[in-house]
A and B are shown apart, each in its own frame.
Chain A
Amino acid sequence: MNVAEILNDLPRRNMAWLDSNEAAERLSASLVSGVVKEQWKYTPIKGFIEGFNSSLANPVDMPDPVVMAIDGAEQPQIELVPFNAAASEDLAYLGNVLHDGIFSERYPLADLTALTAGNGLLIRILDTPQQPLLIDFSHTGCSPVVISVAPNAHLELIETASAVGFHSEFIRIDLGEHAVLHHGRSALAIATGHWSLLQVSLAEGASYSLQSYATGAQRRRIDTQVLLRGRGARVEIDGAYLVEDGCHLDQQTIIEHEAPDTFSKQRFHGIGLGKSKTTFNGRIHIHRNAPRSDAALTNKNLALDPEAVINTKPELEIYTDDVKCSHGATVGQLSEDAIFYLRTRGLSDESARAVLATAFLKTCLHGRLAKTVEQRFLEALSMDSPGSGR
């Protein structure tokens, strides 16, 4: 089945929050645009579209993510509203935020996710909850999610993508003035296909810290976009990823410095094993009206096998003079001196390599997910991969 046929077969549901004809038209136009060709250079988008098709052909009952407080208790500060049950005020809000970049030429799979899902979940954080909020995308299917965090509220969000079938989700998070969000997210399952878009918008004085951990999958693409909209908004991202033999991971981050005195710092460490394919693209865009922006991006990669392919590219676009901006991207190998040192103390060659590779990733591991992620990485690193010589 070709892409055009798949698009023709998409359901045209009547939804108050989404004009499905408009979405389908936008999608068809996006797929042939130059933007998509450039954005999807290293990951053919067609494979994902086929995943949506099989997802539609085999619908599941519970496509919504599991959302709960960490201890399972009800929390009055958190309100859950399905998109299809949204009252007019919420519908107006959804219309605004979903057309603020998500439903756009850049992210055609967002339209596809919305059309396939037919519903979504709005999570309103009215005040600081007692417990962290957990979201698990554990089911095959598509999930649009919007989270709005009230001004001055503090939230800790733990998000996991544990489904092994094809799944796609987009999450839009709105941080009100001086709101604080600590966000840990992981995608550690070797899913048949997984697309995820995270878009976070920060108002004045808001602060966002993200720990983003991933493995490769048969096909996985993670798009992250942070909009620093208000003066003094800050984002810090630490990411670690490991792509096993035969797996694929494409990560694209975009930081938009749209206001003065905004701050962004990103650090990603990644490892490619066996015949894996890894792509990292980090774009920093400093707008004309964002003087005194301070932006830094580091992406370090280790190719542990000769056949592991890693592409990394930082992109800077700066339209004002008074800024601090730095970036660095490397692809290297483990230090033979360090391996020898560990071996002279009794560690086997394999353990020495696993210890060094884990240490490299651990530099970016923090928070509640760190232990689970480290364990997952360690298991992958302890296993032999074909033709590795490790």
Chain B
Amino acid sequence: MKLLEVDDLHVTVDGQKILNGLSLTIEAGEVHALMGPNGSGKSTLANVLAGRPGYQITSGTIHFKGEQLKDLKVEERAHLGLFMAFQYPVEIPGVSNMEFMKAALDAQAAAREEEPLSAIEFMKAVRKIAEELDLNPDFLKRGVNEGFSGGEKKRNEILQLLLLQPTLAVLDETDSGLDIDAIQTVSAGVNRFRNTDNGLLLITHYQRLLDYIVPDVVHVLANGRIVRSGDKGLALTLEEKGYAWLSTS
């Protein structure tokens, strides 16, 4: 089943063309990695998918689970099962992590006309995931990402991923700023999320992450479009030869 279909997508930000005819299809059960040099448009794609204001789709289409994505509000995309792990998660003092996650779960359950988790079920679920991600339970009481280290912020994104159980997760440079141990913990969390019904789009600069989360397809983005796709071997070649190799090969 096709989860995401991006067809000939053109996007401008502040009048500047960033994506120039990007096409990409992700099937259920697949993990795709999107690599590419700085400024190639990787994060732009993530932001367009999530619906961040200021990103103008000038032509092309995006369908998520068969629905035209640009017709949906940011929160409606989340209700439909789209999730983005932020490259720079936002700090929100005064809202505890626990309150925030319960509000998110409740909002999604209400939109899907499902019963929300009881407070006890919720606490159990959150504590279990926090433990798996090696996060001190105290951090659940703290303000969302408030005073968290870079690693804690990224683990908090994965905690939300595991709690919200979306159908498609876009991880925007989740590995940046993580040490080796943290990459392993985060990757273990992401691998627990993987199943045959959901999909993942990993945006990364480095092949290293793909040692732990093995992708089915690797894409290389340059100048706003995918210039090459291949299997995991493509990431290894890029690591060895750099992006310049693409223009010469």
Return B109 CB to nearest CB of chain A, in Å.
Answer: 9
Stretch of B84-92, B121-129, B132-140, B207-215 at the chain-chain interface: B84-92
B15 an interface residue at 8 Å Cβ cutoff? no
Given B52, B95, B111, B164, which contacts A355 in the complex, CB threshold below 8 Å?
B95
B155 an interface residue at 8 Å Cβ cutoff? no
- Do B94 and A341 touch across chains, with their CB atoms under 8 A apart? no
Residues of A within 8 A of B143 (CB): 359
CB within 8 Å of B: which of A341-390? 341-349, 351, 355-356, 358-360, 362-363
- Do B89 and A341 touch across chains, with their CB atoms under 8 A apart? yes
| 17 A-B contact pairs sorted by A residue (CB < 8 Å) | A338-B90, A340-B90, A341-B90, A341-B92, A344-B50, A344-B51, A344-B77, A345-B78, A345-B107, A345-B160, A346-B78, A346-B79, A346-B105, A346-B108, A348-B107, A360-B94, A363-B94
- Do B75 and A348 touch across chains, with their CB atoms under 8 A apart? yes
Apart from A347-B107, A362-B94, 12 more pairs, CB < 8 Å:
A335-B90, A336-B53, A338-B92, A341-B86, A342-B92, A342-B104, A344-B50, A346-B78, A351-B103, A355-B103, A359-B93, A360-B94
* CA of A341 to CA of B92, assembled, Å: 10
Given A337, A346, A349, A359, which contacts B94 in the complex, CB threshold below 8 Å?
A359
* CA of A347 to CA of B90, assembled, Å: 15
B83 an interface residue at 8 Å Cβ cutoff? yes
Return B193 CB to nearest CB of chain A, in Å.
Answer: 16
* CA of A347 to CA of B75, assembled, Å: 6
Given A337, A343, A360, which contacts B75 in the complex, CB threshold below 8 Å?
A343
- Range of interface residues on chain A? 20 to 34
* CA of A343 to CA of B90, assembled, Å: 12
B74 an interface residue at 8 Å Cβ cutoff? yes
* CA of A344 to CA of B77, assembled, Å: 8
Q: Which residue on chain B has the smallest CB distance to residue A363?
A: B94
Return A333 CB to nearest CB of chain B, in Å.
Answer: 14
B2 an interface residue at 8 Å Cβ cutoff? no
* CA of A207 to CA of B95, assembled, Å: 30
Return A33 CB to nearest CB of chain B, in Å.
Answer: 42
Q: Which residue on chain B has the smallest CB distance to residue A345?
A: B104
Residues of A within 8 A of B73 (CB): 343, 348-349
Given B52, B103, B105, which contacts A340 in the complex, CB threshold below 8 Å?
B52
9 smallest beta-carbon distances between A and B, as pairs: A359-B94, A345-B104, A343-B74, A346-B107, A346-B78, A346-B108, A341-B90, A359-B95, A343-B75
Residues of A within 8 A of B164 (CB): 345-346
Return A43 CB to nearest CB of chain B, in Å.
Answer: 29
Q: Per-residue 0/1 for B58-87: is the Cβ within 8 Å of any A Cβ (1 yes, 0 no)?
A: 000000000000000111011100011010
Q: Per-residue 0/1 for B138-169: is the Cβ within 8 Å of any A Cβ (1 yes, 0 no)?
A: 00000100000000000000001000100000
- Do B78 and A356 touch across chains, with their CB atoms under 8 A apart? no
Residues of B within 8 A of A341 (CB): 86, 89-90, 92
* CA of A390 to CA of B143, assembled, Å: 24
Residues of B within 8 A of A337 (CB): 90
Given B74, B93, B105, which contacts A344 in the complex, CB threshold below 8 Å?
B74
Q: Per-residue 0/1 for A82-110: is the Cβ within 8 Å of any B Cβ (1 yes, 0 no)?
A: 00000000000000000000000000000
